[in-house]
Structure 1
Amino acid sequence: MTRSWKLPGLFVVCGSVVAAGAALGGSPAVAAAELVAFVLLAGLHSPLVFPRPTGALEAQRRSAADGRIVVYWRPGCRYCLRLRLRLGRSARRLYWVDIWRDPDGAAAVRAVNGGDETVPTVVVAGRPHTNPDPVWVCRQLASSA
């Protein structure tokens, strides 16, 4: 779990340092704006933006039973964030596997991507799709409902 919070923590620390420099330089308004920007970046890259992750084996088992889509992702991935934001509230209907927290998930992604941990990797009806267009994923989700 600590690995998921490293990038957001780094954003907060860097933002604090940058804001402190601006505040000491006599620009408190600029310091506040910079700090808010870094905190927003930290929030967008935190695990809180994504639904609660499921283990890869559990997600595969559940998907085989109910046909739901499985998304393999990792914190800090801008393409994963783009997909998540595009899905909106519908994202709760998918199984999300954080490959940094689940070694089985990372192995599954490497198996379908030639040894690379390329995310998002989306599995629809048992077929993996690497970094698919979010619009396509939305259509797949709508057609499976």
Structure 2
Amino acid sequence: MTTAHGSAVEFYWRPGCGFCMMLRAHLERAGLPLHEVNIWDDPEAAARVRAAADGNETVPTVFVGPAAMVNPDIDQVLAAVREHAPELLDRTNQ
């Protein structure tokens, strides 16, 4: 996880979420390493999303270091990576 190891963008999702699938595809295309967590399989992950999303289980929710983004676009995630985890970009052509 980015907050602990600096090795990946934390990507919280749930099955059937079209916005999640779209953002995942953009993140993969950008070459960013992902730590994916299905909030329906992990109660602690669901609680973390609720804490970031004003009590809602809105996904996708993405964490990069201290930055929490609810339903972000790829540009928002890349900006957070540049600011909080630039080492992840060393693995990509961004």
The higher-RCO structure (CA 8 Å, 6+ apart) is 2
Normalised by the length of structure 2, the TM-score is: 0.74
| 1:118 alignment partner, SS class | coil
Match of 2:57 among 93, 114, 117: 117
Normalised by the length of structure 1, the TM-score is: 0.50
Number of residue pairs the alignment of both structures matches: 84
The 5-angstrom pairing of residues 81-96 of structure 1 reads: 81-88=21-28, 90=31, 93-96=33-36
Q: Does residue 25 of structure 2 align to residue 80 of structure 1? A: no
Name the aligned partner's letter for residue 57 of structure 2. E
Name the aligned partner's letter for residue 133 of structure 1. D
1:71 aligned partner: 11
Identity of aligned residues (%): 42
Asked if the contact 2:67–2:80 (Cα under 8 Å) also holds between the matched residues in 1, the reply is no
Larger fraction in helix? 1
Larger fraction in strand? 2
| 1:111 alignment partner, SS class | helix
Q: Cα offset for 1:64?
A: 1.8
- Unaligned runs of at least 5 residues, structure 1: 1-58
User: What per-residue deviation string (whole Å, max 9, x for no partner) do you get for residues 49-77 of structure 1?
Assistant: xxxxxxxxxx4xx6322253211111111
Q: Cα offset for 1:136?
A: 2.8
Match of 2:41 among 101, 111, 118: 101
The 5-angstrom pairing of residues 19-38 of structure 1 reads: none
Give the superposed CA RMSD.
2.1
Asked if the contact 2:12–2:36 (Cα under 8 Å) also holds between the matched residues in 1, the reply is yes
Name the aligned partner's letter for residue 18 of structure 2. R
